[in-house]
Homo-oligomer: A and B are copies of this chain.
Amino acid sequence: MPAHGVTETAWLRFLRAHAAITRELSSRLEALHELTLSDFDVLVQLYYAEGRRMRRIDIARSVLLTASGITRLLDGLESCGLVAKERCEGDARVTYAVLTEAGVKKIEEARESHNADIEELFGSRFSLEEREQLTELLGRLPLAHTAEACSA
């Protein structure tokens, strides 16, 4: 398609690549572990959180879903026994989501194949230097590091 500026082309590639890669990642994750990409995402956040638990609102912010999205997503993970609720003393409004033993196991299993998939579909396209470059460039985009550096 002609008549596009550099920015438009870059953006279109970004869009298409996202669609293609997430489709493929989702379907593999679904097939192997019965998890959504978002499920996985949330589990990983919890996995790295202090005490393996987080306030629901903080999960929402770090994975960029709305509060209601998180409520329903956690409903699912809770009924699978991967995550449990926990009251917060000191503030009765908040309920924590805690990773259960099963949840820890699940995420450790799933991570392996999923990381391999990410490597295959995404990382392997670049040299180490290019990966760093890309990371830096992507890091300038809005909200690109919401999930990083939650803890230290």
Contact = CB atoms under 8 A, between A and B. Distances in A.
Majority secondary structure of chain A interface residues (helix, strand, loop or mixed): helix
A93 interface: no
Give the oligomeric copy count: 2
A17 B17 CA distance: 13
Interface stretch (A4-12, A75-83, A94-102): A4-12
Contact of A48 (B2, B14, B147, B150): B2
A112 interface: no
Given A7-B122, A8-B118, A133-B133, A145 B16 contact: yes
Interface of A: 1-24, 41, 45, 48, 64, 115, 118-119, 121-123, 125-126, 128, 130-135, 137-152
5 contacts: A1-B148, A7-B123, A10-B138, A133-B133, A133-B137
